[in-house]
A and B are shown apart, each in its own frame.
Chain A
Amino acid sequence: MSTVTLAPAVVDLRDVRVAFSTDRGIAEAVRGVTIALRPGERVALVGESGSGKTMLGLSMLGITPPTARVSGGISVAGTDVLAADRAAMRRLRGGTISMVFQDALSALNPVRTVGSQLVESARRHHNLSRAQARHRAIEILTSVGVAAAAERMRAYPHELSGGLRQRVMIALALINDPQIIVADEPTTALDATIQAQVLDLLRAMSTQTTLLLITHDLAVAAEVCDTVYVMYAGRLVEFGPTRQLLDRPRHPYTRGLIAAAPRFDARRSVLRPIPGAPPRAGDTPIGCAFAPRCPFADAQCRQVDPPPATITEVACWHPQEGASR
């Protein structure tokens, strides 16, 4: 481990597992992930759908589906999420750690004004009068770039444009000054121009807030975050500072992701997707989960799980050296 510890982790995940019981047995969506977030860090969690990244994010707030069984160590701002009682968790959620969801249209209550939803959250976590909470809501809306915030408070979610809605979602996450924000694919549902603005917003957040950006898009991760963790089939396969990871990716999967990204310079004319598909939770093969799709896999890869990325930074028997291009 090469990181120098300057401050205690504000989010400490140790060997976190999230499992579901299905007709076919136990399926693990997250298979032992260890991550530590320091205060003020901007960390990206990158992976395809099905990699377990969303479940990991939900587990940090303790809002995984009721059928999920979460195990391991989850410590958020000093609180043990798995051991905390319900009242403590409710104080945590929205107050200390908050989440921004992907689709603001379905994530906001359609029959209530955006203002009332903001006010509700503010009053829940701080002892504010309705007027004070309204004031705070208008303040936060303005700070995320919503003009005429006071009027907008009276709007219903469907009356706002996609970009505005997402700003409201971010405002909802920021309104109580949380220490940690988990953003799950915050820009996936938006078009490119709006995406850029929302990313600007995330980047401009106070340096005291820790950001965990969950995304499938490496480019988004690169724009905002200093550290990237790559997840595949419920496990971490590689992590490291963004620049380093993008310039010299070592895990074949990461290399595949970078190579697969469409590029507009003349040299590349063919899209190079990673062949095959990721395994479904519960169907992970013995040995390295990526082996079936990996051009460098050998017998060892197919039989033995590589050591977890916490020990070696790359969970691979044959990490590749050299630049990705």
Chain B
Amino acid sequence: MSAMAGPAPLASPSPDTAARARPAMRLLARQLLNRVAQLVILLFVISSVLFVLLRLTGDPAVTIAGENATPDTLAAVRQQYGLDGSQLHQYLTFIGNLLHLDFGSSLATGQDALGMVGAQLPATLRLAVAAIILNALIAIPVGAWLGSRRRGVARESASFLITIAQGIPGYVVGLLLIQVFAVWLHVLPSVANGGFTSMILPALTLASFQVPKMVRVTAASVAEAGRADYILTATANGASPSTVVLRHALPNALLAVTAMLGAQFAFLLSGTLITEYLFNWPGLGLLMVNSVQRLDFPVVQAAVFVTAVMVFVVNVVMDIVFELADPRLRRSGA
């Protein structure tokens, strides 16, 4: 802060924007490397834990071959799946394969585990994106409306309804949607059939996992922004209530909401397990549920691995977006 003297020119003009950007990029790159390193450690830990856990369910060879298999069959199975040799040997082989992204073959279908996961992933991503869009379309307007209300009948009853909505688990919503739209009204299909209409109910169900919470968060953010001093300034300059909300409160509120959206991705993935199972949507969630039911460990390992990577990528992207969006964070230093 340079001292000023009367009406004379003030502090030096702000630094050139490009010059500010270079140190920012370097910082970003360093942070990114940090995060990637964390991811690698995380994946290593998860995979090792899985390795140990899955061995705890009993002899995998027995699981594969069945309870009544003869010792010869068991030996053959062991050899085929690399289950002979000491645990340490198996573990090292496992890690070695991991580095090549080789998760082995599915115990159920014999296909490459990672390949199966990769094949089902796009369907889940499509569903997730649809759900996020629906979520934003519903939650942000409702939340903004709720957050700008004064205490009164409208607000209290709306908030009570949201509390109730928060208490309805996703699978209940899904079943209700199926009951109403598929069974009683016959307007929407209840099972995935590749068509666009069959995405509607699953997307709505998946969105329902997060919509009430999103509404609450948006409302709180808008309300908090609404209490800020700059809102008073805007009003003191004659801004109408709608201008105040749309051009002053909401942009500030959306910062917090966007951060929340990123954090919600993990919950979204949890929701896909149930939603895909309910609607038979051929995605990663359904694959995981089926694989776990069948104790198809290679596929489970591959699926968990891919999930971890996805969550990481989304978190990093959201962090970057958040940093770029908030002008207060767009600085060249710490």
Contacts and interface: CB of A to CB of B under 8 A. Distances in A.
A contacts B directly (C-beta below 8 A): yes
Interface of A: 61, 63, 66, 86, 89-95, 98-99, 101, 103, 106-112, 120-121, 124-125, 145-148, 151-152, 155-156, 158-159, 161-164, 169, 172, 193-194, 197, 200
B238 A111 contact: no
B232 A158 contact: no
Contact of B230 (A86, A95, A106, A159): A106
A194 B233 CA distance: 22
A158 B236 contact: no
Interface stretch (B2-10, B40-48, B122-130, B293-301): B2-10
Given A66-B150, A107-B233, A158-B328, A94 B238 contact: yes
B247 interface: yes
A111 B233 contact: no
Contacts, number: 104
A120 B233 CA distance: 12
A61 B236 contact: yes
Interface in B199-249: 228-230, 232-240, 247-248
A91 B11 contact: no
B290 to A, nearest CB: 46
B194 interface: no
A110 B1 contact: no
A271 to B, nearest CB: 29
A282 B116 CA distance: 72
Given A94-B236, A94-B238, A121-B237, A107 B229 contact: yes
Given A107-B229, A107-B232, A158-B328, A93 B237 contact: yes
B280 interface: no
B50 interface: no
B13 A151 contact: yes
Given A91-B238, A147-B9, A164-B10, 15 more contacts: A90-B238, A107-B229, A107-B232, A109-B230, A109-B233, A109-B248, A111-B252, A120-B237, A121-B238, A145-B4, A145-B10, A156-B327, A158-B328, A161-B1, A161-B2
Contacts of A124: 237-239
Contact of B236 (A66, A99, A197, A200): A99
Contact of A92 (B7, B229, B238): B238
A291 to B, nearest CB: 35
B255 interface: yes
Given A93-B238, A99-B236, A163-B4, A151 B230 contact: no
B14 interface: yes
Contacts of B118: none
A37 to B, nearest CB: 18
Contacts of A66: 150
Contacts of A92: 238
B228 A112 contact: no
Contact of B238 (A101, A125, A148, A200): A125
B115 interface: no
Interface of B: 1-4, 6-11, 13-14, 150, 228-230, 232-240, 247-248, 251-252, 255, 326-328
A107 B38 CA distance: 40
A90 B1 contact: no
B327 A111 contact: yes
B235 A63 contact: yes
Given A161-B1, A197-B4, A111 B236 contact: no
Contacts of B247: 120
B245 to A, nearest CB: 13
Given A93-B235, A111-B255, A197-B4, A101 B229 contact: yes
A189 to B, nearest CB: 12
Contacts of B252: 109-111
7 contacts: A94-B238, A103-B229, A112-B251, A120-B237, A124-B239, A152-B14, A163-B1
B234 A63 contact: no
Contacts of B7: 145
Contact of A94 (B1, B11, B230, B237): B237
Given A91-B238, A112-B251, A194-B4, A63 B232 contact: yes
B236 A110 contact: no
Nearest to A161: B1
B233 A101 contact: yes
B330 to A, nearest CB: 9
A86 B235 CA distance: 11
Contacts of A148: 9-10, 13
B148 to A, nearest CB: 12
Nearest to A182: B236
Instruction: Name which of B8, B233, B235, B251 has the most chain A CB atoms within 10 A of its CB.
Output: B233
